[in-house]
Structure 1
């Protein structure tokens, strides 16, 4: 019988390493993602509230005018996140990961507070300004959080712990999807009704700032400093730091020169950061930010009905994110689940697009969905399931673990920047796409389906499986010419090296059977 919770280790690991402390540190750091997920869910549904539209004079805008304003409100946040992700590099490089995360939390709380000053008299200005400031804090945190978690995580549960970041995103989204349904059902249409969802942002922001962990490695591993595992881990870190200092050099710009000056590192960064093109190409952020528009295109009528349907979407996504985090990501790896998610998601989107093309449900809304509409909703939730267990957080995991420590701060910076760039593009374009890409937006669904199909060859031919590979051995993994079997080759080499090293401490290299691959890596390192 397959043990879904079995851990594949690169070396013998004491059970104490897998303790509550390392999980607690990851969970607290991942609180940053709760703020991101909450915003992605609540802002679109807040704009759908009649109280919000009436207060800011949006109720009588044309479809084109309202689409432009909606895009502005949503995209100012992504714009702030884009620049914040760049600021995250100097914060982490100069002040360290933990202090950088703390500053990010304070900036977010400031921006969230500014948004609360908006009303009918002041207009949308405080919301625009506050969202830019909050975005700066979130962008920096999205850079630093996966980096921090990956560096404290034991290799066998690294995917699971970095997955906490995505799990936090989904929990925030779940609350964000349901908060507006709750206020619409229980609070009369008023200034207070739409203000409460904006104010709730302050809760995860404050918890994040208060809870940033400040612990050392021995405490996190729950081992004494004299333990062989701690000594071995510290030795590997020291060796890697010395190698990085020799190969990369010292100084603020040295990692940039290394990444952009070494072809194999730059190519790797292009491969991993481009995952966010495909992630946003699934359609996730179009659905997150404009769920009301999505369900209206399927013929669902009424604000409360759309909010309820959106809440169900959030429940499915969050529940399956738990399965992804605790069962799938470290058991089945990264690449395989991306492929499954892409194929399943494409089929689902093609089905929805075909239904909207044939039936044009937005032009014929009914209180009760016809059989075809129910089938379209089934495929929408099926798409949600495929996405939640694959593209949901896997790109973050891959980017957090694919590079040596000396350049990881830079590559993670560009990963976060790539995410927010494509997030901005999709969030800005979605309202216009639904206005111009066919009746009931059928062309939008076909576009997202096609993007998922195109991601398949990208994953097959360019991305090696990173599961269970120690961070210090990622150069060796990406140097393999056989991309599809690279993980198996490197894991076999590592086990053999540890076995022979235990018998003979002077052992320096594996047997000749895999010498060709190892020498290929060494050649790259010597060039570096």
Structure 2
């Protein structure tokens, strides 16, 4: 099987896998570029001497410095938490397309506000701008995965939602290296630290421009009763005529799913809230989706993203510029591994196995790094250069990155974007995104204090949480790859969860073959593609 080969739930015309679907995913994923850039640049920018000098850092006590750093970083996550929930009514009434536009506009306003800060005005504009920018990316983190998953054919849904994660890593790569660049090439000045803040406007500007031209989600249009627009939009995305058998099947599946919702729970704004409150199955899925982000943040990733100079200093890296360089290498490793995850792992290995392997390997690496810091007593060491043990610790830190990035970094977003029925998907994604930003806020707010008080224990803490996540995934998270959105209910009804995927895929293939036989016997629509039906063997 080649790197780009696909495992399909049914025979799919080659026209479906076209440039339009990837372009739409790329435009929407400018949201994640904004998030990734922020997670990388802010922790390194506030460590620049030019920033510290302008805001009189040396006049603060060490405790006050930690508090101010934590506030600058974490106000963004606090805003994002509320933005994730504000996006629900926007996405429901205005649609995914205009939801993305609103998120970009609010983020741009916040990023622009930060540019007005200086030593005379103080940090107030940065604080306010961070909250507004957080509201924007919080809304975007809700809407973008939903938008992409609603457009995606099942065989490449993980890959397309993975484009969202790729945008996150590209933004992070730029953010990690830009501070190294300005520190290496520019004298300490106001301009040196304001440039990284100004670069935030690039991805938000691209999203504003792109949102003017992208198509609205066909599934949202069906949900709102705008059937003609929905069929036209779906045909444009799939590059197929309305009477093509693939289109007939997909539209029929959407219609059946909406009709079932209409007769069982209704399609109104408040209906999802009522369903969640009364339906234990939906509540269970919300619990699973939200908890995935507890374990994601429990890996320590955001402690590393937002405070990477502090992390590398704890391992023994000396010198501000050297710390920025090792941080940049961390960003390169994450981005390279993300490409592997996107092109092959997510839709071949699957979601469940990636989470299990990533947690096990990552935990081992953190135990080794923490043990080295304990034994070498790095905090009290006078060594100006890293010894062999320090180099080994750096190797296992980067190896942790290799385990974490293709597993817990993007996979929880993929699972949450695909495991809910259409009418509850916006509310569910709001809960998932809100969970992510809640745990993100807690980690970013207290990481400086954790490193000050716990030292090497920080690594043991995160390593232990990664072990706990293995138990959670094994017993509660089924595999979702290749399962159509309209069949997620069946997937979560099967027990035990480790056998659910195979049984659902086998049944879907039987139903598909029967449907096609019925169409052929009735002399129905033209069939697309010359390939033989898929093998009944479960992928």
Candidates 386, 389, 405, aligned match of 1:388: 405
- Give the match for residue 519 of structure 1: none
Candidates 230, 234, 237, aligned match of 1:217: 234
- Give the match for residue 429 of structure 1: 446
| 8 Å CA contact retained: 1:114, 1:126 | yes
**Superposed displacement of residue 230, structure 1:** 1.3
**Superposed displacement of residue 6, structure 1:** 2.3
| 8 Å CA contact retained: 2:3, 2:343 | no
What is the TM-score of this pair, normalised by structure 2?
0.92
* Structure 2: stretches of 5+ with no match in the other structure: 216-232, 522-539
Candidates 496, 519, 526, aligned match of 1:482: 496
**Superposed displacement of residue 506, structure 1:** 12
* Equivalent residues in 2 for 1:279-428, closer than 5 Å: 279-428=296-445
- Give the match for residue 511 of structure 1: none
Deviations 1:87-109 (A, max 9, x none): 01011011001011101100000
| Stretches (4+) displaced over 6 A | none
Candidates 476, 499, 513, aligned match of 1:462: 476
- Give the match for residue 242 of structure 1: 259
Distance 1:464 1:224 in 2: 35
* Equivalent residues in 2 for 1:261-280, closer than 5 Å: 261-280=278-297
In structure 2, relative to structure 1, the CA distance for the partners of 1:417 and 1:506 (3 Å cut) is farther
Distance 2:382 2:114 in 1: 35
- Count of residue pairs the alignment pairs up: 503
What secondary structure does 2:483 align onto? coil
| 8 Å CA contact retained: 1:31, 1:208 | yes
- 2:461 corresponds to 1:447: yes
| 8 Å CA contact retained: 2:267, 2:423 | no
Distance 2:271 2:520 in 1: 33
What secondary structure does 1:288 align onto? helix
| 8 Å CA contact retained: 2:115, 2:197 | yes
- Give the match for residue 204 of structure 1: 203
Distance 1:366 1:345 in 2: 28
What secondary structure does 1:188 align onto? coil
**Superposed displacement of residue 368, structure 1:** 2.0
**Superposed displacement of residue 155, structure 1:** 0.2
- 2:274 corresponds to 1:257: yes
Distance 2:2 2:188 in 1: 52
What is the TM-score of this pair, normalised by structure 1?
0.94
Distance 1:365 1:11 in 2: 63
**Superposed displacement of residue 505, structure 1:** 5.4
Distance 1:141 1:405 in 2: 18
* Structure 1: stretches of 5+ with no match in the other structure: 508-528
* Equivalent residues in 2 for 1:497-512, closer than 5 Å: 497-504=511-518
* Equivalent residues in 2 for 1:8-19, closer than 5 Å: 8-19=7-18
Distance 1:38 1:365 in 2: 34
- Give the match for residue 505 of structure 2: 491
The 10-residue stretch of structure 1 (249-258 or 323-332) with the greater mean CA deviation from structure 2 = 249-258
